Structure 1
Amino acid sequence: MPARSAAQQKAAGAALAAKRGHIKKSELKGASREMEKTMSEKELDEMASTKRKGKPEHVDSGS
């Protein structure tokens, strides 16, 4: 599942780093903390590897 915004892609990257042990899980905040808990490493990798070019910084949660 590709990221819909740059912010989502960044949060997935942080969650993936924590899941792989590169950063402490306690350093995560907000969306990245939830992503780390609920998504698999494969899902996070797919979302984090999404290109940011042309993506908005944020997307409304209602869309």
Structure 2
Amino acid sequence: MLHTEEFRELNSILQEHFGDVIPTEEIFGTFEELNDIVNKSVEEGRNLLPEYYGYGGNR
């Protein structure tokens, strides 16, 4: 998943909107789930990855 064009594009979207990159050591699940979370983050205007994956201050 990490070396695909789709992952690079998704990572770029997250970085463009929130200044963050996808923390690959903290995420699990499918690319489709990750894609949905990043898109929902953009829609809501906040990075939802820590909330969904339980890293950072949200442990």
Q: Same fold (TM over 0.5)?
A: no
Indicate the structure whose relative CO is greater, using CA pairs within 8 Å and at least 6 residues apart.
1
| TM-score, length of structure 1 as denominator length | 0.34
Point out the structure with max Rg over C-alpha: 1
